[in-house]
Structure 1
Amino acid sequence: MMQQAELSKTVISVENLSIGFRGRAGGMQPVLRNISVSVAAGESIGLVGESGSGKSTLALAMMGYLKTGLKVLDGSASFNGTDMFAQDRRALERIRGGRLALIPQNSGQSLTPSLRVGAQIREALRLHSALPEAKHEARVVELLAQVRLPDPTAIARRYPHELSGGQQQRVAIAMALAGEPEALLLDEPTTGLDVTTQAHILELLRDLARDTGMAMVYVSHDLGAIARVCDHVVVMYAGEIVLEGTACQVLRDPDHPYARGLLASIPKLSDKCLTRALDGRPPAPGQAGSGCAFATRCAIAADRCKAERPDLRETSGGSRTRCHLPEQVRSIPLTGEREAGERSLPDALSLDLQDMAISYAVPGLLERLLRRETQAVATVDGINIALRRGETLGLVGESGSGKSTILKSIAGLLPPLSGRVMLKGQDDLPPRVEDRAGQHLRQVQLIFQNPDESLNPRQTIAQILAQPLKLYFGLSGQDLLDRSAALLEQVRLGAHYLDRLPSQLSGGEKQRVAVARAFAAQPELVLCDEITSALDVSVQAAVLELLDDLRRDNSTSYIFVSHDLAVVKALSDRVAVLYQGRLCELGSTSDVYGSVSHPYTEVLLGAVLEPDPDFAPTLSAGDVVELSPPAQGCPFQRRCPKRLGPICEEAAPPRRTFSDGHSIWCHREDLSGT
C-alpha cells in the first residue's frame, strides 16, 4: 500500500488551459475554455459529457498531445511538475507509454495488425519497463490473464483480427499496464467490453490505483463505470467545466441542469421503456455565445442565463457548479421515461434463421492444394430464430459468444457452414453479399460497432451519405443535399457536418454518421452491432428513440447486439442469450429480465452497473470467460454455479419451451419460465 504522503502528491495538473483552432473567418475558435483540474497519486477522476464536449481533447492534452489544427491558447498541462507542451519529441517519448499511459477508445488505433498480440505486449515491456527480457514471456501471459482473456498463452499467439472487438480492447488495456504507469489516461476503455468483463476490469483498475498509487483520468459516457471506479467527477459541456465534485455529489443529486439531464437519459434495468433524450444539441465550437452555453437547452433558464456567462462556484452541498440558479436545479427530475408505443406486431416474417451454423475456420494451404475436405468446428451452431416485421430482437452475451458473427453471416460477410437465411419468410438470401440482388442489399443494412471500419477516411460526410441515396433512389442535386441534411438532423447532427471528414469527428459523431447512412437505404432489416456503445447517454437516447420511431412508422425490424443489458431491455421485444455460439435462453424481454431462468443470464444481469457509487455488482472471483466450448455437454458447464454433475458434462442441454414461448436450454428441471 502507498504511504499517505505519496498519495497526496499531485501527478497531473491542468491550469487555466484553453485550446482552440483557427476558423474559416480567421479567428480562433475555442475547444476548451479555462480548464483547471488536478489529479493526485491514487486518485481517479472521471470526465463526462456529450460527444464534442472536450473530454478526449482534455485527456490528450494531459500527455502533451493535440490533434491536427489545435493550438494551446493559454494555460498549461503538467505531469509530475513537467510542462508537457514545453517538451521536445524525445522527452515526450520517454514519458508516454511508460510513466504516463493511454488506453484509446478504439483499440484498433493501438494494435498493429501484422504483429501477434504477444509480440506487441513484449515490445511495450521492452520499451517501458525494467523487467529482464527473460521474464517478458511470463509477464505477457500474466497481463492477458489480468484482463480476463481466456487461455492467455493461445491469445498471445493470435493476430488482432482473430480477436473480437472486446478482446482487442482488453489487449490494449494489457499493453497500457505493461509499463506500470504512474498515471493512466482512459478514453472510453470499456466501450467494447461485455458486462462481466467490464465489471472485472474496473475492479482491477480500482485495485491498481489503491495499491500502487496510480492516478487515473477516466473519460466515459458510461456513468455506471464512472460511479464504480472514480473518486471525483468533472462534467464538461461546450469545452468548459459545468460541474465538479465527488462521485456521490455529481451522480446522486447533481447541482447542474445538464448533469441531471444526462442521468435522466440513462436506461436502467428498473426502467420499463425508453428514456427521453435531452432537447437540442450542444453548440458548435465558438458558438457558445456570451451567456450560459447550456441556456438554450435548459428547462429553468432565465434571461440572465442567456446574457451572462456564469462562474464556477461552490454550492451548499460542496460541489462546484456553473449555474446562475443552483437553488432551482433540484426541481428538474432525474428520470425521463418516453412512451414506448404499442408493440403489436404483424404475423409476417422479416427474417427466418433455420439451423444456422457458422465457422471462422479456413482450410490450410496443404488442404487446399490436396483439395481435402476438413470438418470445421462450428463457432456458432444450432441457431433457429424467426423475426417478425417490426420486431426488435436483442442478442446478448459476453465477447466471443457469437453475436457479431451471426450479424455478419446474415449480412453475407461470413457464409454459414449450414442452414438457411430467409428474408420475409420466402427469399433465400445467397450466403455471399456479392451474389445478392440490389433489392436485398438495400433491405438488409449492417451498422458496425467501430465506425472506422465502414467510413471512408478520404470522403466527406456528404459523399458518404450520398452513396446509398444515389445507388438506391437516384437522388441528385438539391434533393440529395436536402435528404443528407435531414438524415444528419435525425441522428442529432447538423448540415454543417456535411463538409467534414471522419477524422474531424469524435467517436460518437462518427457512429451517428454510420447510423444515418444505414437509415438512408430505408431498409427492411437493420443489423445493429453495438451501435450505441460509443455514444454519450443523451445521443444514445436520441438514437434509440429514432430506432423506435422508424420501427413504428415503417415496420423496420432490428437485430440489436449490445453489452448494455438496460438498453436491450428498453428497446427489444424479445431477447436471445448466447454463450459460446449456442443459445441459452430465448423469450420476451419481460420473461428474460423478469423471471431469470438460465444460470448464465443470471450471471450477466448480476454484473450490470448502476450510476450509483455505492452500488456493487455481483461477481465471482474465479469466473473466467472460456476461449471455446467443451467438446460435449452444456457449453456453460465449467462456469455454472448451478451445475448438476455428469449430466451437464456429457449431454447437450434440452430445450424447454413454456406456454408463453419462453425457451431455455438447461438440464435443471426446477427452472421456471413463468
Structure 2
Amino acid sequence: MAGPPLIDIRKLCIGFRGRAGTMLPVLHEIDLTVCRGQSLGLVGESGSGKSTLALAAMGYLKHGLQKLSGEVIHDGADIFARSASELEKIRGGRLGLIPQNSGQALTPTLRIGQQIHEALHLHCALPEGEHEARAIDLLAQVRLPDPQAILRRYPHELSGGQQQRVAIAMALAGEPDALLLDEPTTGLDVTTQAHILELLRDLAAARNMATVYVSHDLGVIARVCDRVQVLYGGETMLTGPTAEVLRDPAHPYARGLLASIPRLSDRTLPRALEGRPPPPGQRRRGCAFAARCGLATETCHAERPPMIAGAGAQNTRCFYPDRVAGMDAGGGGAVPGHGASDGPAALRLADVAVRYDRPGLLARLRRVPRNPATVEGISLHLRRGETLGMVGESGSGKSTILKTIAGLMSPAEGRIALGDGSLLNATVEQRRPDQLRRIQMVFQNPDDSLNPRQTVAEILSQPLRLYFGLRGKALQGRSVELLETVRLGAHYLDRRPGQLSGGEKQRVAVARAFAAGPEIVLCDEITSALDVSVQAAVLELLNDLKGLHGTAFIFVSHDLTIVRALSDRVAVLYQGRLCEIGPTAAVYGAPSHPYTEVLLNAVLEPDPEHTPRLLTEDAADLSPPARGCPFQRRCPVKCGRICEVDAPPWQETGDGHAIRCHIPLADLPRRIAG
C-alpha cells in the first residue's frame, strides 16, 4: 500500500427508518481503502449501494439515510465528526465530486463562465485576475472546442456530453486530493470518453490524487482502475486487482455481470442475470446473492458467508470460490432477429435539414451569411421490423434527427414521409392523431417523460384512452398486458416513478410507447444510465417486441457494442452529415469511413490490456465547415485540398453499404492508428 490511506472506510453501516420504526440497512459493514495515487472502481447493479457509498466518503447522506455505525476517515479524521464549515471547505476542494447527471452540477440560469469562476473563487488560491485563463485551460483539458465561446453559453446551449465535460472541469477546479466519480462518462461518446479517461488518469498520476469510480461500464473500470470492489445488496461481494477480477472473477455475481456485457467482436445479444437484486433495506439471512446464484446450497440461504481469500489476490464473500471458475455464467445470448432488408418502408427522410440559429432582423437586412445547418442532407429509409442504429459523437445530430421525426422540432428543408407515402406535418401540434400514434419516442432519461405524480396505471392509460377509447376493465386489462410484455406485472400499476428503479422506469417508458400500437419507435440513448444486467434485459426486450409486433426502431446510442448487438443497419453521422450507412456487419467490417474507424478504435473493452487508439489532441468542432468534407479538420488520412473544397461522393460497396469519402474504397484503411 502506497502510504497511509487518504480515504479509509471501516465497517460502515448506513440505513433508514422503516414503517415499523426499525432501522433497515442500505450499506452493511462496508470496508473501503484508497491511498494517494490509487484508483478504485465500485461496480454492481442499480440499488447495490455504490453511489451511497461514494457520497458517504464525502460525509454526505441522502435525505432519510443515517449512519448506523462505522467510520469514514479522511486524511486521518472521521469526516462525519467535522463541522459544517469544515465540510464546506473540503467538499469541492480537497474532495471533488463528478455526478452522473451534469444537470445536478450546473445551474441553468448562469453562464458556464460564471459557474466555473464560482468554483475557482471558493476552492482555488489563484488571484481573481487569473480565473479567466484558468477557466479556459480547464475547458481545454476536457476537450471542449472553443473554450472562450463555451464560457459565454448557458447549459441548455450545450449537448449532454458537453455539459458533462463542464461538470468535470468544475470538479478539477479545486485541485482535489481525492476525486469521487459517479458514472462520470455515462453521457459521453466513445472518443470523448476515452480522452476524458486518459486525462483523468494523467491528472491523478501528476497530482498523486486518489480516485474512486462508480460505474456500470466495466470497460471504463478496466481502463482507469487499479482495484475493483463489487457490491451487491449493500454488501461487498468481491475485491481484488482489476486485471484478476475481470479476467477470472472469484464470485458468481461478478461472473454474471461480465456475461451481461455486449462485445464489439460479437453480434449476439448479451444475456441478463436471472432474477432481481434485493430491494434496499431488506432484512435477510444467508448470502444476499443466493436467490440468483447457480451455486447456492442450503448453507448459502441460511448463513452469511465471510470474506475469504479467492483466486490470486481476490477476496470473495462466497462459500465456494473454488467452484466459480467452472460455473455457467449465463453468457452467449441469442443473435437478434434481422429486419427485412427488402420489405416495405415504414419511414423515409429526403434531404432533411435542421437549423438552430435564428438570425435577427438586422442580420437578415444586412444579408449576413448564416452558419451551416446543424443537420443537412439527411436521406434514409427505415423498413418495417428493422432496427436502424445511429452512431456518432455528441453534437453529430442524432437526437436532433429523432426529435425532428417525432415532430418536436421543425425541419428547415426536406420531407419526412411514412411508409404509405403520406407526408408528416412538421410539428406535433400539426399532426393528426393517427400520425402521432404511429411514431413514438423513448427518451434517454425516463424521469424527463414520466409524470412523478401519476401512477403507472395513469401513465399507461393516457395513450390507451386517446387512441383506442379504452375504459374500465378493458383499460386495466390492456395495461396489465403491456406491463407483462416488459416483464413487470400488474402489481406495478399502483406505483409511482419515484418507487421504481432506473431500469423499471425505462421499462414503463417502453410500455407507454407500445401502448399506442406504434409502427416506429425512436430510442434516444435509452440504455446509457442502466447497469449492464438491466441493459441486457432491455435489449432483449426490444428485440422480442420487434419480432412480436414487427415494429421498426431507430436506436441512437454512443455505445457501439450495443448498436452492433441490436441493429440490422447502422448510420454513422458527423456534424449532422451522413458519413456511412449500411448493414451492421458491413459497417463494422472493412472498408469503413475514416470517422467510423476512429469511433471503433476508441471503444473500451472490459480488459485492462486493451488500449484504445485515439487521435492525438483530438477535439470536435462546434459547427461543420462551410464546404468540403465535414470531417476534414480531424481526418488522419486527409487527401488534401479536395477534402476542403468539394463535398465527398457516395461510394457503394454493395449490399446497401455506402461510404461518403474522397478516398477510393480500395485505399480505405482497416483501422486508423492514433
- Alignment partner of 1:195 out of 173, 180, 190: 190
Residue 351 of structure 1 pairs with residue 367 of structure 2: no
1:41 to 36, 39, 51: 36
What is the one-letter code of the residue matched to 1:362? R
Whether the 8 Å contact between 2:389 and 2:556 is mirrored in structure 1 is yes
Tell me the secondary structure at the aligned position of residue 654 of structure 2.
Answer: coil
Work out the CA distance in 1 between the residues paired with 2:314 and 2:12: 21
Partner SS for 2:570? strand
Aligned ranges 1:114-263 → 2 under 5 Å: 114-263=109-258
- Distance in 2, Cα, partners of 1:263 & 1:174: 31
Aligned residues of 1:442 and 1:523 also touching (Cα < 8 A): yes
One-letter code of the match for 1:531? I
1:440 paired to 2:435: yes
Q: Judging changes above 3 Å, is the alpha-carbon distance between structure 1 residues 59 and 434 closer, same or farther for their aligned structure 2 residues?
A: same
| Cα contact 2:28–2:234 (8 A) shared by 1 | yes
User: For each residue in 1:93-122, what CA deviation from the matched residue of structure 2 results, as whole angstroms up to 9, or x when unmatched?
Assistant: 111111111111111111111111111111
Q: Residues 181-580 of structure 1 correspond to what in structure 2 (within 5 A)? A: 181-287=176-282, 289-333=284-328, 336-340=331-335, 342-345=337-340, 347-364=343-360, 377-475=372-470, 484=479, 487=482, 491=486, 501-503=496-498, 507-580=502-575
Q: How does 1:575-654 map to 2 (within 5 A)?
A: 575-654=570-649
8 A Cα contact 2:252 2:329, kept in partner:
no
Q: Letter of the aligned partner of 1:20 in structure 2?
A: G
| Residue identity opposite 2:542 in structure 1 | L
Aligned length: 668
Q: Secondary structure at the match of 2:588?
A: helix
SS of aligned partner of 2:533: helix
Letter in 2 for 1:320: N
Q: Kindly state the Cα deviation for residue 571 of structure 1 after the two structures are TM-superposed.
A: 0.3
In 1, the alpha carbon distance for the partners of 2:543 and 2:411 equals: 30
**Contact between 1:574 and 1:587, CA under 8 Å: does it hold in 2?**
yes
Q: Deviations over 1:248-291 (max 9, x none)?
A: 12111101111111100100011121111111111222336212
Distance 1:183 1:114 in 2: 29
Task: Return the TM-score normalized by structure 2.
Answer: 0.94
**Secondary structure of the corresponding residue to residue 428 of structure 1:** coil
Contact conserved, 2:372 with 2:625, CA < 8 A, in 1? no
Q: Which amino acid aligns with 2:657?
A: H
Matched, 1:102 2:91: no
The aligned amino acid for 2:5 is T
Conserved 8 A contact 2:97-2:181: yes
More deviation, 567-576/16-25: 16-25
When residues 546 and 343 of structure 1 are mapped into structure 2, their CA distance, relative to the original with a 3 A threshold, is same
The one-letter amino acid paired with 2:251 is: H
The letter for the 2-side match of 1:214 is M
CA–CA distance in structure 1, aligned partners of residues 475 and 139 of structure 2: 49
Which shows bigger deviation, 67-76 or 358-367? Answer: 358-367
Q: Secondary structure at the match of 2:523?
A: strand
Compute the displacement of 1:537 (Å).
0.5
Amino acid at match of 1:630: P
Seen in structure 2, the aligned counterparts of structure 1 residues 177 and 568 have a Cα distance that, compared at 3 Å, is same
**8 Å CA contact retained: 2:286, 2:305:** yes
Q: 1:319: Cα distance to partner?
A: 0.6
2:87 to 88, 92, 114: 92
Deviations 1:22-49 (A, max 9, x none): 2233332221111111111111111111
Q: 1:235 to 1:485 in 2, by over 3 A?
A: farther
8 A Cα contact 1:352 1:425, kept in partner: no
Paired amino acid for 1:197: T
Cα distance in 1 between the residues matched to 2:198 and 2:267: 29
The answer to whether the 8 A contact 1:485-1:494 is kept is yes
**Aligned partners of 1:88, 1:504: CA distance in 2, in Å?**
33
* Greater mean deviation of Cα atoms: 510-519 or 223-232: 510-519
- Deviation string 1:400-432 (CA, Å, 9 cap, x unpaired) is 111111011111111010111112242211111
Are 1:8 and 2:20 counterparts? no
Change (3 A) 1:35 1:308: same
Q: AA paired with 2:112?
A: V
Instruction: Show structure 2 runs of 5+ residues with no match.
Output: none
Distance in 1 of aligned mates of 2:212 and 2:584: 36
Q: Is the 8 A contact 2:651 2:659 kept in 1?
A: yes
Measured against aligned partners, the alpha-carbon deviations of 1:424-475 in whole angstroms (never above 9, x if no partner) come to 2422111111111222222211122233322334444444344334433445
**C-alpha distance after superposition, 1:492-546 (max 9, x if no partner):** 6566665555455555554444334323333211111111110111110100000
Percent of aligned pairs with the same residue? 65
Deviates further, 482-491 or 396-405:
482-491
Distance between the aligned counterparts of 1:547 and 1:527, measured in 2? Answer: 11
- Provide the secondary structure at the position in 2 that maps to 1:206: helix
Which secondary structure does the structure 2 equivalent of 1:594 belong to? coil
Q: CA–CA distance in 1 between the matches of 2:441 and 2:525? A: 11
Question: What's the TM-score, normalizing by structure 1?
Answer: 0.94
Measured against aligned partners, the alpha-carbon deviations of 1:192-211 in whole angstroms (never above 9, x if no partner) come to 10101000100111111111
Alignment match, 2:15: 20
C-alpha contact (below 8 Å) 1:31/1:285 kept by paired residues: yes
SS in 1 for 2:325: helix
Distance (Å, rounded) in 2 between the aligned partners of 1:594 and 1:143: 37
Please report how far the alpha carbon of residue 351 of structure 1 lies from its aligned counterpart in structure 2 after TM superposition.
0.9
Aligned equivalents of 2:16 and 2:473: distance in 1? 31
Deviation per residue, 1:563-597 (Å, 9 max, x gap): 11010000000000111111110010000001132
Q: Which runs of 5+ in 1 are unaligned?
A: none
CA distance in 2, matches of 1:226, 1:159: 32
